[in-house]
Structure 1
Amino acid sequence: MTDDAIDIRYRPASGPPRKVSFRPRPDGWLRVTLEWTGCIWRETGCEPVDDVDLECVDGVAICR
């Protein structure tokens, strides 16, 4: 994880662990998807996004 990034890791029912990382940029965020190879996290895709909202059971935390 980079400084100020938001990472969500998960393990699908089949296949290797995966991670979605939201990395801050001056003009918004970069959403990066990664897959664990057994040695390193391999990037599988990315796209710029404008806003990231983290929804919680007790409300929404807005990340800006």
Structure 2
Amino acid sequence: MNTKAAFASTVAALDGSDVIRASGIGSPDRARELGLSVAAELFELGARELMSEARQDPARGS
């Protein structure tokens, strides 16, 4: 049996104006590496900036 693990993640601007998605498929015994790879792809696509903007948004109430 050839079991695969799939991982998908999305980061979006609070107002929905920008959405970044990344996904990957790999071996279940390498799930951690798969998650790290997808996270790295999100960061390369600008997710870090979106998350930083969300933390600084006064409308969040924080």
TM over 0.5: no
**TM-score, normalised by the number of residues in structure 1:** 0.28
Relative to its length, the structure with more strand (as a share) is 1
Larger Rg, first or second structure (1 or 2) = 2
Greater length-normalized contact order (CA 8 Å, ≥ 6 residues apart): 2
